């Protein structure tokens, strides 16, 4: 991505809204805040009660019904619970792993389980049909969409009244929903993290400690994207302040930077990945060369597993001492 993209992205977050075009007219889409989330929850409960009054069953009631009628089996529910439990445990384990290659391998396992979990949940949703919660989510989602649409960048005039929004065609609401989805994708956590690590933002990093002072607004008035800008800015500022010898090619890569920082913390806690601090090369059991670079930032780092392959799968003591930088 070009620098201009990230400057525009941060500016968009600062503004608190996104300007778009709908039906050949400008529309301003407000970014959601804590107050807006409360508004959404209030309407969710309102429409949930409407659904119940109209005879729709709750998820709990529908789930009991499909089990009783044999449309859905209890073993499938148990598999859903098992996958959720396993994925949760693996995510926690990833945080404690030392080597990036191990993290990557375990994350692939997590992704596989989450994919299977999603497929099972979709299958159950098809069996259960619409519930009161589904109706409430749909109606309150439409309401929050209307609530976030404005005619002006000052965000004082809503684009549609309740009645006007109710008269829109389905395709129009779908298009408005796609505009909102585009904002969420563009201002994703990964994109914001990349943006705050760009050179243009470096002068702001130290100011991210005080979110309210940064924007000169009460915290409760800040949008979720404004909060994420300062949250990630503060997080990376602390890493730069308290992490030594960060490789230059890691400093603008959020994931590499986070992995390196975590690895350094683990190492300082006693997880040593090398034989001697003054050795000419660093070695680590089970690590790839990229792992060791991530841990130490050492371009001369070598992997014991890779070196062992060169010698028939084993290293004798002399070979290991030589790798550690000792003359033998």
Report the pLDDT averaged over residues 32-61.
Answer: 89
**Whether residue 211 has pLDDT greater than 80:** yes
**19 domain residue, yes or no:** no
Ranges 16-20, 95-99, 101-105, 219-223: which has the least confidence: 95-99
**pLDDT for the residue 166:** 86
**Whether residue 273 has pLDDT greater than 50:** no
DSSP result, 151-209: SSTTS-SBSS-HHHHHTS-HHHHHHHHHHHHHHHHHT-HHHHHHHHTSGGGGGGGGGGG
**Whether residue 318 has pLDDT greater than 70:** no
- Helices and strands (DSSP H and E) totals, the chain: 15, 5
**Whether residue 299 has pLDDT greater than 60:** no
Indicate whether 76 and 143 sit together in one domain.
Answer: yes
Indicate whether 169 and 211 sit together in one domain.
Answer: no
Does residue 233 contact residue 196 with C-beta atoms inside 8 Å? yes
Report, in angstroms and rounded to the nearest whole number, the Rg of the chain calculated over CA atoms: 26
Q: Is the dihedral of CA 204, 206, 210, 216 positive or negative?
A: negative
**Whether residue 327 has pLDDT greater than 70:** no
Number of domains in the chain: 3
**Whether residue 301 has pLDDT greater than 70:** no
**1 domain residue, yes or no:** no
Does residue 233 contact residue 205 with C-beta atoms inside 8 Å? yes
- What string of H, E and C letters represents the secondary structure of 102-133? HHHHHHHHHHHHHHHHHHHHHHHHHHHCCCHH
Indicate whether 96 and 217 sit together in one domain.
Answer: no
pLDDT tens-digit map of 12-24 = 999 999 999 998 9
Domain final residue, candidates 184, 204, 233 = 184
Q: What percent of the chain has pLDDT over 90?
A: 56
* Cβ-based neighbour number of residue 184 at 10 Å: 12
Indicate whether 84 and 195 sit together in one domain.
Answer: no
The set of residues, in sequence order, having a beta carbon less than 8 Å from that of 23 and lying 6+ positions away, is 172
Indicate whether 169 and 198 sit together in one domain.
Answer: no
**pLDDT for the residue 272:** 46
Indicate whether 85 and 155 sit together in one domain.
Answer: yes
Domain final residue, candidates 146, 161, 184 = 184
pLDDT tens-digit map of 217-264 = 888 889 999 999 999 999 999 999 998 889 898 999 998 898 888 877
DSSP assignment letter at 327: -
Ranges 121-125, 152-156, 278-282: which has the least confidence: 278-282
Distance between CA atoms of residues 12 and 197, nearest Å: 17
pTM of the model: 0.72
**pLDDT for the residue 280:** 46
Distance between CA atoms of residues 36 and 216, nearest Å: 20
Q: What is the mean pLDDT of the chain?
A: 84
Indicate whether 75 and 169 sit together in one domain.
Answer: yes
Burial class (CB in 10 A: 0-12, 13-18, 19+), 86: middle
**pLDDT for the residue 103:** 80
Does residue 211 contact residue 222 with C-beta atoms inside 8 Å? yes
The set of residues, in sequence order, having a beta carbon less than 8 Å from that of 196 and lying 6+ positions away, is 10, 204, 205, 208, 229, 232, 233, 236
Burial class (CB in 10 A: 0-12, 13-18, 19+), 314: exposed
Report the pLDDT averaged over residues 168-178.
Answer: 91
Indicate whether 161 and 80 sit together in one domain.
Answer: yes
Nearest to 31, CA basis, from 141, 155, 142, 201: 155
**pLDDT for the residue 270:** 53
**17 domain residue, yes or no:** no
Nearest to 50, CA basis, from 121, 123, 138: 138
**111 domain residue, yes or no:** yes
Per-residue pLDDT band for 285 (boundaries 50, 70, 90) equals low
**277 domain residue, yes or no:** yes
Report the pLDDT averaged over residues 109-131.
Answer: 94
**15 domain residue, yes or no:** no
Indicate whether 75 and 173 sit together in one domain.
Answer: yes
The more confidently predicted of residues 1 and 54 is: 54
**4 domain residue, yes or no:** no
- Domain containing 205 equals 189-256
């Amino acid at each position: 991505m070009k620098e201009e993209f990230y400057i525009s992205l941060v500016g968009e977050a600062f503004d608190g809204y996104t300007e778009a075009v709908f039906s050949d007219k400008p529309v301003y889409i407000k970014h959601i805040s804590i107050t807006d989330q409360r508004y959404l929850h209030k309407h969710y409960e309102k429409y949930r009660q409407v659904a119940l009054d109209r005879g729709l069953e709750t998820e709990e009631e529908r789930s009991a019904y499909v089990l009783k009628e044999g449309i859905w089996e209890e073993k499938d529910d148990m598999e859903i619970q098992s996958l959720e439990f396993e994925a949760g445990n693996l995510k926690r384990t990833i945080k404690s792993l030392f080597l990036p290659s191990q993290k990557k391998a375990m994350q692939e396992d997590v992704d596989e389980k989450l994919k299977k979990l999603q497929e099972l949940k979709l299958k159950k949703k098809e069996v259960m049909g619409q519930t009161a919660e589904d109706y409430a989510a749909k109606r309150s989602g439409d309401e929050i969409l209307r609530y976030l649409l404005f005619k002006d960048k000052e965000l004082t005039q809503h684009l549609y009244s309740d009645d006007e929004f109710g008269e829109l065609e389905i395709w129009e609401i779908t298009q408005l929903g796609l505009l909102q989805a585009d904002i969420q994708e563009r201002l994703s956590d990964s994109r914001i993290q990349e943006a705050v690590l760009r050179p243009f933002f470096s002068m702001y990093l130290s100011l991210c400690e005080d979110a309210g002072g940064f924007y000169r607004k009460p915290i409760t008035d800040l949008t979720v994207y404004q909060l994420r800008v300062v949250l990630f800015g503060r997080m990376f500022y602390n890493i730069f302040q308290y992490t030594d010898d960060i490789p230059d090619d890691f400093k603008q890569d959020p994931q590499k930077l986070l992995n390196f920082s975590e690895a350094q913390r683990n190492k300082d806690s006693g997880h040593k990945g090398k034989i001697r601090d003054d050795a000419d090369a660093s070695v680590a059991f089970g690590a790839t060369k990229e792992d060791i670079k991530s841990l130490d930032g050492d371009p001369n780092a070598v992997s014991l597993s890779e070196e062992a392959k060169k010698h028939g799968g084993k290293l004798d003591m002399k070979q290991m001492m030589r790798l550690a930088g000792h003359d033998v």
